């Protein structure tokens, strides 16, 4: 009996010792081995600090370093454009290459030894196909016919001078060709650019800003073409290249009149010389869009007067460009014409036709795709390029 009691006591002691050695209760209530606890806490080697002991049962947090934001693209270097003076002369050879066919045909006909009715009809036809228009073509032909009869000129040089004088008379206009860019009454000059889609209106606006900066003017650009997604970015790129600020809306389809108003306000606050407002290209047959163009002009005039409304026309469109010009002139009182792509397949006679149709002068011409290929229009240089 005594042996049985002794065996029971030893068994109890043995079981209790093993439990205290190999089993511990974790803070979460899950049983883990003491060896594992020692490994995690470091208790097998050293006494854990009080702070570590307090955090032994807490969930470990891993801190991931934040990624650095991508570097902003470097701003383009501000360019110094050349002045606008003399550009037409520098581009004369390019203009002559595109217009030489028109002038050469006329010179050959006028210099021929036989100037009968058929020849004069052919001269008139050449002028009409050169986009001069029916009325001006008949007038030029009649005047040349009279001069030939009176003066009896026949040599090539005499005919060239006679033709030059007649074309100059048709191209010249009493209206000033200067673009008004001077500050007045404490306000900057305000220029609106209007036209149909595809004429190069926004590009022309950027090129004009570049020419003005080259002439020493300060410029603010107003991106009031809010219907074409790329128009604002395109105009801002032009402005950034010459250090001109662009006022634009980040909201697609924003009110263009509001953007134009803000641009003029910015120009007044910053005391700049010129505010250029680019408007959305629109078909001249869309009455609603044309009315909106008139609204843009009226809203601008609440802040400052509009000094110029420049209608941008593609010189290659010929008589279709004239129809566009008539409608725009009725809505916003066009003060000047900008003819783009005059170095391409344009016949050149559109200069005469559009001036006589609207009674406003051609003020600027685009003679290429380069950033400095916008030039003030010079009649003498233009006529000389036509006749060679």
Q: Is the pLDDT of residue 16 over 90?
A: no
Q: What pLDDT shows up at residue 324?
A: 80
Angle at 270 between CA 266 and CA 274, to 5 degrees: 75
* Strand (E) or helix (H) holding 291: helix 287-300
Binning pLDDT at 50, 70 and 90, where does residue 265 land? very high
Q: What pLDDT shows up at residue 1?
A: 53
- Cα-based distances in Å from 317 to 30, 286, 301, 323: 87, 19, 32, 10
Q: What pLDDT shows up at residue 121?
A: 92
For every residue of 333-382, DSSP letters joined together read ---EEEEE-TTTT--STHHHHHHHHHS--EEEEE-SSSTT-EEE--HHHH
3-state secondary structure of 142: helix
Q: What pLDDT shows up at residue 252?
A: 74
* 21-32 pLDDT, tens digit each: 433 344 444 444
Q: Is the pLDDT of residue 337 over 90?
A: yes
Binning pLDDT at 50, 70 and 90, where does residue 2 land? low
Binning pLDDT at 50, 70 and 90, where does residue 68 land? low
| Residue 167 DSSP symbol | H
Poorest-pLDDT segment among 39-48, 141-150, 271-280: 39-48
Q: Is the pLDDT of residue 306 over 90?
A: yes
Radius of gyration of the chain (CA): 40
For every residue of 23-75, DSSP letters joined together read EEE-TTS-EEEHHHHHHHH-TTTSPPPHHHHHTTTSPP-PPPPPPPPPPPPPP
For residue 192, the cross-strand partners are 277, 309
Binning pLDDT at 50, 70 and 90, where does residue 330 land? confident
Binning pLDDT at 50, 70 and 90, where does residue 85 land? confident
Angle at 370 between CA 101 and CA 246, to 5 degrees: 135
Poorest-pLDDT segment among 85-94, 197-206, 288-297, 298-307: 85-94
Most confident of 148-152, 188-192, 232-236: 188-192
């Amino acid at each position: 009996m005594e042996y049985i009691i002794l065996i029971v006591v030893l068994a109890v002691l043995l079981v209790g010792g093993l439990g205290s050695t190999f089993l511990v209760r974790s803070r979460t209530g899950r049983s883990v081995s003491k060896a594992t606890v020692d490994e995690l806490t470091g208790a097998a080697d050293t006494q854990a600090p009080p702070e570590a002991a307090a955090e032994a049962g807490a969930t470990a947090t891993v801190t991931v370093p934040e990624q650095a934001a991508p570097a902003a693209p470097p701003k383009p270097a501000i360019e110094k454009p050349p002045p606008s003076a003399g550009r037409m002369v520098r581009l004369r050879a390019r203009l002559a290459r595109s217009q030489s066919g028109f002038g050469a045909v006329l010179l050959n006909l006028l210099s021929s030894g036989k100037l009968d009715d058929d020849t004069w009809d052919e001269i008139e036809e050449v002028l009409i196909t050169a986009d001069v228009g029916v009325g001006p073509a008949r007038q030029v032909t009649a005047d040349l016919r009279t001069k030939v009869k009176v003066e009896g000129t026949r040599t090539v040089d005499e005919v060239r001078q006679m033709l030059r004088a007649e074309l100059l008379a048709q191209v010249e206009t009493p209206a000033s060709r200067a673009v008004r860019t001077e500050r007045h009454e404490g306000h900057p000059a305000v220029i609106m650019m209007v036209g149909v889609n595809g004429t190069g209106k926004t590009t022309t606006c950027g090129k004009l800003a570049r020419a003005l900066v080259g002439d020493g003017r300060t410029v603010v650009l107003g991106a009031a073409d809010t219907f074409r997604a790329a128009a604002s970015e395109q105009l801002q790129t032009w402005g950034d290249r010459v250090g001109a600020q662009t006022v634009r809306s980040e909201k697609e389809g924003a009110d263009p009149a509001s953007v134009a108003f803000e641009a003029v306000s910015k120009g007044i606050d910053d005391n700049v010389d010129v505010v250029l407002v680019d408007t959305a290209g629109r078909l001249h047959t869309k009455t609603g869009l044309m009315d909106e163009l008139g609204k843009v002009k009226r809203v601008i005039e609440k802040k400052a007067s509009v000094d110029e409304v420049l209608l941008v026309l593609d010189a290659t469109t010929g008589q279709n460009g004239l129809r566009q010009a008539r409608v725009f002139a009725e809505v916003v009182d066009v003060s000047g014409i900008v003819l783009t792509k005059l170095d391409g397949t344009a016949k050149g006679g559109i200069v005469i036709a559009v001036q006589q149709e609207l009674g406003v002068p051609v003020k600027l011409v685009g003679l290429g795709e380069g950033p400095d290929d916008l030039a003030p229009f010079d009649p003498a240089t233009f006529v000389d390029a036509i006749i060679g």
